[in-house]
A = this chain, B = another copy of it.
Amino acid sequence: MSDAGEIPRVAALPTILGALQDPVRLEMVRRLGNAGAAQRCSSLYDTIGKSTASHHFKILREAGVTEGWVAEGNTWQRLRTEAMDEAYPGLLAAILDAANHHQA
């Protein structure tokens, strides 16, 4: 359920790592991982503007790491955990663990 109404493939590994190497995007993904459920976009970042955040969400979505949709006037995001696990078993979990470790 992407914004475009079609589910993108999980990208090649360099694209995924490129999406996650940005600290803002890594934090978005970390928060989604810790929440374990869809979150409103606005809960996933702090110090950037809405349009900058949209840019980051787009990169994550195009890499196949997240999906986003609008419901009841809010934009939501969630991790594509199953698709990621199918493409690269264990990778997302390891990066989320590392991100929490990095955060601590």
Contact = CB atoms under 8 A, between A and B. Distances in A.
Interface string A16-32: 01101111001000000
- Copies per assembly: 2
Contacts of A98: 13, 88, 90-91
A7 interface: no
A97 B89 contact: yes
Could you say which interface size class chain A belongs to?
20 to 34
Nearest to A30: B13
A74 to B, nearest CB: 28
Interface string A67-104: 00000000000000000000111110111011101100
A15 to B, nearest CB: 8
